[in-house]
Amino acid sequence: MHTQVAHTSIRAYRDIKKDGTLSARQRQIMAVVRPFPADYSLQELAKLTGLPINVVSGRVNELREGTGELERAPARACKITGRTIRPVRCPHTQGALF
């Protein structure tokens, strides 16, 4: 499914991706994420930030795949839903040494 997107919107999106700055929503998510080893499900992040789950999901994917600010943690039960999930966390500070 394709939708019409204004060229200015596309240009702004690409500029944000190029310069590596975090968006306001990404910063809002990172503000509640504590250092390693704390980890979070998307539902937990949605509750902590007050953002809708669809916003959290998209921004977490950007932070994980695009900027490397977050990484996947070992599977565990979500504190909200009780389902087994793969949470996200900040990478270990010494991880870059290996």
Q: Spell out the domains of the chain, with CATH numbers in brackets.
A: 22-97 (1.10.10.10)
* The pLDDT of residue 96: 55
- What's the pTM? 0.75
* The pLDDT of residue 62: 94
Helix (H) or strand (E) holding 77: strand 76-77
C-alpha angle with apex 6: 65 to 57, nearest 5 degrees?
Answer: 30
* The pLDDT of residue 12: 62
Please check whether residue 88 is in contact with residue 71, taking contact to mean a CB–CB distance below 8 angstroms: yes
Print pLDDT tens along the chain (98 aa): 566 667 676 666 566 555 667 889 999 999 999 888 899 999 999 999 999 999 999 999 999 998 899 999 999 999 999 999 999 999 987 655 55
Query: Which residue carries 């500029």 as its tokens?
Result: 15
